[in-house]
Chain A
């Protein structure tokens, strides 16, 4: 592919992305509140799934307990808004808390690899949840706590959150795209490829891993902050629920781990399947979700985008062979 071809393809993609963004901004005008809420949830899950994608899809570290940053984001926002701080300030403090937590925990935990890292983060999530449950004076304890309600008509409020979550998803995706395609992105991907080799090639792997986890924590905490304000009520068992981790990891897998749009595609597919399971098979929805997950993982192990990418690549290479081109 020549540079000009690459450039024209790139600008085509940008136009496509902008069209989609405008479409989604206008969409709530044409659909019911029910669908607006589902889409808001999809955007939220997509943003969380991007956090997993950066860590796991690109760097090869599965932070199973990443949902702790969602909980921290929601709770710090609730605590400060409860003391009269405006939302923006509370969100800023929430993100700061999540980033600081990720750095402090990252130093010891990111030395662990594979299974051990995944499990240690689950343990930390549980421990943080326990602290939130038991410091009742500050957090409201196991029964949960409330956040201020925006004094406007519900449709308008839902529309706010729709746009805010959409913006978060786009921002998260954009930032991760830029990070992955930067020089730092090569350090991240080298760690997944072979951490020892990366280290011997002059990459400070500890530093890279900690910064990457902090980025992941930052966006996950923003999702938590928005979620808390959106629901106006949060409880520890809900925002520190490992089930959210599992769901978003499945979304990443469905869409394609290590592809930039994979988590978004996966969030759409899984959320629609699970809505369908809820409304169609109320009593069996867990089983339907479980079986759907198994089937998806079995038949598209590289995710929808990964599998599509391979198909396109194969077709291109057979095309090249037919035409007799040898140079890529």
Chain B
């Protein structure tokens, strides 16, 4: 155990925090369980791959493009396929988002095949050394960027007009409607912010891990756990949930065996659902 274990866990958890945040916002505020979230993350990875191979762009820079493109994709998906079916309830949103996942997955397969890909930036091998522990530079930067983005999301929700509108519809829909907030527009922007975070996560992921359409399902599993651990729509909750999952997986891999890694996360999730359905943090929305 020791320091190296702690550092590994927290570095992994930082990426998970950002990854889970978008999903948690979409579910908690727009009310949509986005089963295409994993496909959107991986799409971000492939966008960075293309920009790296053609323009030599570092994923830490191309994440801006992933974010933008997926923001607009998310807005379109919400406006034209989810919003018209909201009345149908949970069954419809689940099925539609799953169908979107199939379409994205198929497009990725057609263009890039099912092979695992990696992006190796020039400094991929270098690492920081601290008290006998190694901190890979890419993972360290990923952690920092993820932290900054979580904080930016928080600032966006708390300080901008749109963010306040989103908060208003999340907390008191009738009240928000009464003061003239366009609820569907807020849900759409919130959903698009969520997919943008998915795309950015994908770019970050591509810089440190390999990726292929096979990891789509695994990512969906993880974001479920993070969102439920933290409480739906709760920004700091998602961050805490991500870190917690990072610790759970790292300790699972260290002490029990890495094959049980996924089961541990799922068992924790079900336990939280049963005993603390509002998440470990407890308060709903924005913490």
Whether A and B touch (Cβ < 8 Å) is answered with: yes
A144 within 8 A of B: no
A246 to B100, CA, bound (A): 13
B144 within 8 A of A: no
A35 to B101, CA, bound (A): 29
CB distance from B90 to the nearest CB of A (A): 6
Beyond A130-B262, A284-B106, whether A249 also contacts B224 by CB under 8 A is no
Beyond A116-B273, A119-B224, A294-B81, whether A289 also contacts B102 by CB under 8 A is yes
Q: Which residue from B27, B92, B103 sits with its C-beta under 8 Å from A286?
A: B103
Q: Which residues of B contact A246 (CB under 8 A)?
A: 94-95, 98
Contact B102 A290 (CB under 8 A): yes
Q: Which residues of B contact A164 (CB under 8 A)?
A: none
Q: Which residues of B contact A109 (CB under 8 A)?
A: 270, 274
The residue in chain B whose Cβ has the minimal distance to the Cβ of A113 is: B277
Contact B102 A126 (CB under 8 A): no
Q: Which B residues, 177 to 233, have Cβ-Cβ distances below 8 Å to chain A?
A: 217, 221, 224-225, 228
CB distance from B59 to the nearest CB of A (A): 27
The residue in chain A whose Cβ has the minimal distance to the Cβ of B36 is: A290
Contact B266 A291 (CB under 8 A): no
Contact A115 B27 (CB under 8 A): yes
Residues of B in contact with A (beta carbons under 8 Å apart):
27, 33, 81, 84-85, 88, 90-92, 94-96, 98-103, 105-107, 109-110, 217, 221, 224-225, 228, 259-260, 262-263, 266-267, 269-270, 273-274, 277
The residue in chain B whose Cβ has the minimal distance to the Cβ of A126 is: B266
CB distance from B281 to the nearest CB of A (A): 16
A287 within 8 A of B: yes
Contact B273 A123 (CB under 8 A): yes
CB distance from B232 to the nearest CB of A (A): 8
The residue in chain A whose Cβ has the minimal distance to the Cβ of B102 is: A290
A253 to B206, CA, bound (A): 37
CB distance from B1 to the nearest CB of A (A): 23
A to B CB contacts below 8 Å, 18 in the list:
A112-B277, A115-B33, A116-B273, A119-B269, A126-B221, A130-B259, A286-B103, A286-B109, A287-B106, A290-B100, A293-B98, A293-B99, A294-B96, A294-B100, A297-B92, A297-B95, A297-B96, A301-B92
Q: Which residue from A64, A123, A130 sits with its C-beta under 8 Å from B270?
A: A123
Q: Which residues of A contact B84 (CB under 8 A)?
A: 298
Q: Which residues of B contact A122 (CB under 8 A)?
A: 224
Q: Which residues of A contact B99 (CB under 8 A)?
A: 289-291, 293-294, 297
Q: Which residues of A contact B90 (CB under 8 A)?
A: 62, 114-115, 118
Beyond A119-B33, A293-B95, whether A301 also contacts B88 by CB under 8 A is yes
Q: Which residues of B contact A108 (CB under 8 A)?
A: 274
A149 within 8 A of B: no
A62 to B93, CA, bound (A): 12
Contact B27 A257 (CB under 8 A): no
Per-position 1/0 for A119-148, Cβ under 8 A of B: 110111011001101100000000000000
A283 within 8 A of B: yes
The residue in chain A whose Cβ has the minimal distance to the Cβ of B88 is: A301
Residues of A in contact with B (beta carbons under 8 Å apart):
56, 62, 64, 108-109, 111-112, 114-116, 118-120, 122-124, 126-127, 130-131, 133-134, 242, 246, 249-250, 253, 257, 283-287, 289-291, 293-294, 297-298, 301
Most A C-beta atoms less than 10 A away, residue of B81, B95, B101, B259: B95
CB distance from A118 to the nearest CB of B (A): 6
Q: Which residues of A contact B101 (CB under 8 A)?
A: 290
CB distance from B18 to the nearest CB of A (A): 21
A298 to B86, CA, bound (A): 11
A190 to B103, CA, bound (A): 37
A297 to B277, CA, bound (A): 30
CB distance from B12 to the nearest CB of A (A): 19
The residue in chain A whose Cβ has the minimal distance to the Cβ of B232 is: A115
Q: A290-B99, A293-B96 are in contact. List 10 more A-B contacts (CB 8 A).
A: A127-B266, A130-B262, A131-B263, A134-B263, A283-B106, A287-B107, A290-B98, A297-B96, A298-B85, A301-B88
The residue in chain A whose Cβ has the minimal distance to the Cβ of B27 is: A115
A130 to B262, CA, bound (A): 7
Beyond A62-B90, A112-B273, A130-B262, whether A249 also contacts B221 by CB under 8 A is no
CB distance from B49 to the nearest CB of A (A): 20
A109 to B81, CA, bound (A): 31
Contact A130 B95 (CB under 8 A): no
CB distance from A208 to the nearest CB of B (A): 20
Beyond A116-B273, A120-B274, A287-B102, whether A126 also contacts B110 by CB under 8 A is no
A137 to B239, CA, bound (A): 39
Q: Which residues of A contact B27 (CB under 8 A)?
A: 115
A127 to B271, CA, bound (A): 12
Contact A249 B273 (CB under 8 A): no
Q: Which residues of B contact A123 (CB under 8 A)?
A: 224-225, 266-267, 269-270, 273
